Structure 1
Amino acid sequence: MARAMKVAIVDDEADMRQSISQWLALSGFETETYACAEDALKVIGADYPGVVVSDIRMPGIDGMAFLKRLMSLDGGLPVIMITGHGDVPMAVEAMRLGAYDFLEKPFNPDRMTELTKKATHNRRMTLDSRALRRELSDGTTLMKKLIGTSAEMERLREDILDLGQADGHVLIDGETGTGKTLVAHALHAVGPRATKKFVTISCAAWSEDQLAAKLFGTGDDDAIPLVEEARGGTLCLEDIESLSHSLQSRLLTMINEQGTPPETRIIAIVNEHAPDKTLEDILRPDLFYRLGALTIICPPLRARGEDILTLFTRLSEQFAEEYGCDAPQVAAQEAAQLLQAPWPGNVRQLVNIAERAVLQNRRGSGSIASLLMADNEAAGPTLTTEGKPLKDYVEAFERMLIDNTMRRHKGSIVAVMEELCLPRRTLNEKMAKYSLSRSDYT
């Protein structure tokens, strides 16, 4: 859900504060008013969830001094300055110091609304970007995103923790949509280079000349080559299979010049290669062996068993919250269909199915089965899954049902017992069997 943005209005004139606040409130903004900069500074700090509208001429800390203080706290905070007649040169100076924009009295209220909308949009983008950067540097948060209790996911998490502490370069392989980029971020975040730069580029997104310039520089401009920007940290090369032989040679030279342990760690991600070719056929052997000494294979979704139902439940709950509606309830037959689907697009495909299922449920039409069928028809011939014993499907559905009910009742054992008509001892035994803990829901 989009975060609510505030507008802090700072002006020593009560009538002006009230007028601006009322107008912006009518336009849908949440406003806060302050009679002086001193009071506002007690509340506004780094990552303030909104923007500031401030008069320039105020007693005590004036608008210019206030702006400087705000910029020192958070250089990305949008501050709209209100100027009186003849203060335009001062407003221009405020822009130079970092103000978002200025309005000259008397100003058009619609212009105020338009400017505030743009400023809050920019602020939301800035805060979301910061949150993402923090998330991608937090190993604990990233590991929690690798959801699943299957043996394949347990092994993947163990591999990340083990290889994250190593110094060598890493090759990440796996089908499209299996979360290879997330794994690369996690490898960096759980290792000793976590506080250093993580620089990533797709080798398939640029021509050979453009990629060479971005990676190694041209010497003709001031742009910092990515190999220099990542020095001491991690350089992540997505679509490594698209790297030309010429650039493979330059990359190998850079690796050889670093020595052991390498100053910059390289994580290479393989996204696609022809079925009749291995990565060894695509990369020059000496580069392959330097990059592939440590390898992680991201498991396909179809091999992860009941993780499919866990992921579908979590994703549909998230989308239901975003769209303001109920998540679809998964029937036993639909659970079996989710488990049996070939999932050629893996987790990325499951995300799309979950979102569309929520939208269907909001309209009161459609089924999960129809979504799966449409996806498979669009994908054409796909891999097929092996059949499983009925017991496996029953257990996966049972676990999903208990998990969903516990979430809905926030861990209330009594409520879950009543809804599922289970005696306490049976519920306890099944929760232990499926590694479900009440503390996860309270």
Structure 2
Amino acid sequence: MAKAMKIAIVDDEQDMRQSISQWLALSGYDTETFASAEDALKALGPDYPGIVISDIKMPGMDGMQFLKKLMGSDSALPVIMITGHGDVPMAVEAMRVGAFDFLEKPFNPDRMTELAKKATNARRLTLDNRALRRELSDGGQLMKKLIGAAPAMERLKEDILDLGQADGHVLIDGETGTGKTLVAHALHAVGSRAGKKFVLLSCAAWDEDALAKRLFGPMLPEDSQLPAVEEARGGTLVLEDVEALSDSLQARLLSFINDQGTPAETRVVAICNMQEQDRTCEDALRSDLFYRLAALRITLPPLRQRGEDILTLFTRLSEQFAEEYGCETPQVSAQEAAQLLQAPWPGNVRQLINLAERAVLQSRRGSGTIASLLMSDHEDMQPVMTTEGKPLKEYVEAFERMLIDNTMRRHKGSIASVMEELCLPRRTLNEKMAKYGLARADYL
């Protein structure tokens, strides 16, 4: 359940402050009151988790001065102004300065609640978008999202760090659901363009004429956006589904790349999502464009080749969904672990995310098994544990590592509790943790 948004009520009249506060508190809002604009400014920072309702006429700093101060600190903070009867010109001026809306005294409390709901919804969206932008600009946080210790994942992380510092254009390819867009964000975040524009455009989402205008312009006078090549100037332009570009747009993209010279002012990161059998990115793109983009290339590994990363990812995802839905994390049996490792995963990580959420939901209902979900996803999968494709020893070790890892996290690094639950002597547990690269300090 989303946390209640705050509402700061600023009015020099105590009765008015209290009545507004009581009414909004009954509607489920977390209110706080201030007798003056000066007091309120001390508590309202740029990322204030809520909205402001303020009277216009107050002694000392009046509502208009207060509004201008707030807009200077955070122009996206919704401020609802309360005006006296006949003060409509002042209210219009407040809207021009940046007020969200205004209420004219005497006002209907239901109208105030309606405005508060609209304003808090807008504020929540603003704060969520800011948090997402901060996360997507933090290279360290993005690299942490690339979970896994498989050799292919270690190489991928090294490639991102290396190519992030390079200056050339990049081609990212790989099967659907492997996380290509996440890698594009990470490339930008760990490189020299981290603080500059990151523009993401899906080439498959537009018809050719609309895509040409969105990508290269000219935009219509009423359009608020610049063409993508202008919007991304000095930063990174990411083109998802680059294979969807027509021949003429591929030629224009090549000209844009060639005209920039070296080093490029704007880096182009092309994401190729070839789904057709026996066709590659090289087949889909004109050769001169392909070789300009593929000079630096990252191919993401499919999930089925990542070994015990599958179990690590499934555990992390199911824990996140269990927390979200307020229930216990489903336990994975040895047979289910083996089936998770053997599954073909055509949808890769995206499919695993979906499976983890469904596993948590059915566990909350107290019905079904992970194995039954796997069987519904993979009709040709056998319900018994086999060793096809891998030695049995690898399945056993992957399950054992997952079991120790899960138990250590559940007991927050308490060795004694883990020894008791798994019936292991201290020396054996230490040896196995060393073997699987598990450190107690990671769980404290």
TM-score w.r.t. length of structure 1: 0.95
In 1, Cα distance between equivalents of 2:73 and 2:261: 41
CA distance in 2, matches of 1:21, 1:285: 66
Query: Equivalent residue for 2:440?
Result: 438
Task: Describe how 1:272-351 pairs up with structure 2 within 5 A.
Answer: 272-351=274-353
Q: Which runs of 5+ in 2 are unaligned?
A: 382-386
> Alpha carbons of 1:75 and 1:377: their partners in 2 closer, same or farther (altered >3 Å)?
farther
Could you tell me which residue of structure 1 aligns to residue 193 of structure 2?
A: 193
Q: Which residue of 2 aligns with 1:243?
A: 245
Partner of 2:361: 359
Say whether 1:270 aligns with 2:272: yes
SS at match of 1:237: strand
1:59-116 per-residue CA deviation (whole Å, 9 max, x = no partner) reads 1111111111111110111111122222222122111111111112222222222211
Question: How far off its partner does 1:219 sit?
Answer: 6.5
Deviation for aligned residue 1:435: 1.4
State how far apart, in whole Å, the 2-side matches of 1:440 and 1:113 are. 47
Q: Secondary structure at the match of 1:289?
A: helix
Is the alpha carbon distance of 1:386 and 1:114 closer, same or farther for their aligned partners in structure 2, counting shifts above 3 Å? farther
2:145 maps to which residue? 145
Matched, 1:229 2:244: no
Secondary structure of the 1:334 match is: helix
> For 1:307-348, what per-residue CA distance to the aligned partner results, in whole angstroms no more than 9, with x for missing partners?
111111111111111112222111222111211111111111
Letter in 2 for 1:204: A
- The reply to whether residue 126 of structure 1 matches residue 126 of structure 2 is yes
**1:369-408 deviations in Å (ceiling 9; x for gaps):** 12222223499xxxxx962111111111111111111111
Cα distance change of structure 1 residues 219 and 374 upon mapping to structure 2, 3 Å threshold: closer
Residues 3 and 135 from structure 1, CA distance in 2 versus in 1: closer, same or farther, beyond 3 angstroms? farther
Identity %: 79
Q: Aligned residues, how many?
A: 437
Counterpart residue type for residue 228 of structure 2: L
Question: What SS does the corresponding residue of 1:140 show, helix, strand or coil?
Answer: helix
Partner SS, residue 144 of structure 2: helix
Return the offset for 1:430: 1.4
Amino acid at match of 1:190: V
- SS of the counterpart of 1:204? helix
CA distance, structure 1, for counterparts of residue 114 and residue 346 of structure 2: 45
Counterpart-to-counterpart distance in 1, 2:437 and 2:355: 26
Where does residue 382 of structure 1 map in the other structure? none
The amino acid that maps onto 1:153 is M
- Unaligned 5+ segments in structure 1 are 380-384
Distance in structure 2 (CA, Å) of the matches to 1:300 and 1:279? 17
Contact 1:169 1:291 in 2 (8 A): yes
User: Aligned partners of 1:97 and 1:114: how far apart in 2?
Assistant: 22
Q: Secondary structure at the match of 1:326?
A: coil
Matched AA of 2:101 = D
Is the Cα contact below 8 Å between 1:9 and 1:31 reproduced in 2?
yes
- Give every structure 1 segment of 4 or more consecutive aligned residues whose post-TM-superposition deviation is greater than 6 Å: none
* AA at the equivalent of 1:65: Q
In structure 2, distance between residues paired with 1:273 and 1:370: 28
**What letter matches 1:120 in structure 2?**
T
SS of residue in 1 equivalent to 2:143: helix
User: What is the alpha-carbon distance in structure 2 between the residues aligned to residue 330 and residue 21 of structure 1?
Assistant: 49
Q: Which residue pairs with 2:112 in the alignment?
A: 112
Q: Distance in 2 between matches of 1:114 and 1:336?
A: 53
Q: Which amino acid aligns with 1:61?
A: M
For the aligned residue pairs, the C-alpha RMSD in angstroms reads 1.7
1:416 to 399, 407, 418: 418
Q: Is the 8 A contact 1:325 1:362 kept in 2?
A: yes
Match of residue 384 from structure 2: none
In the TM superposition, what is the alpha-carbon distance from 1:228 to its structure 2 partner?
A: 1.5
Task: Name the amino acid aligned to 1:110.
Answer: D
Offset at residue 236 of structure 1 (A)? 0.7
What's the secondary structure of 2:81's corresponding residue?
Answer: strand
Corresponding residue for residue 155 of structure 1: 155
| Counterpart residue type for residue 88 of structure 1 | V
Map of 1:95 onto structure 2: 95
Cα distance in 2 for residues equivalent to 1:403 and 1:163: 32
Q: What SS does the aligned partner of 1:214 have?
A: helix
8 Å contact 1:241–1:273 — kept in the other structure? no
CA distance in 1, matches of 2:322, 2:10: 38
Equivalent position to 1:429, from 402, 406, 431: 431
Q: Which residue is 1:205 aligned to?
A: 205
Alignment CA distance shift 1:126-1:220 (3 Å): closer
Residue type matched to 1:130 in 2? R
Q: Work out the CA distance in 2 between the residues paired with 1:430 and 1:217.
A: 60
Amino acid at match of 2:79: V
Quote how far apart the aligned CAs of 1:202 are.
0.8
Residue-by-residue CA offset, 1:136-166 (whole Å, 9 max, x unaligned): 1111110011001111111100110111111
**Deviation, structure 1 residue 197:** 1.0
1:10 and 1:53 in contact (8 A); partners too: yes
Provide the secondary structure at the position in 1 that maps to 2:205: coil
- AA matched with 1:152: A
Counterpart of 1:161 in 2: which secondary structure? helix
- CA contact under 8 A between 1:273 and 1:279: conserved in structure 2? no
Contact 1:46/1:74, CA 8 A, preserved across alignment:
yes
Preserved contact between residue 360 and residue 366 of structure 1 (Cα < 8 Å): yes
Q: For 2:378, what is the secondary structure of its paired residue?
A: helix
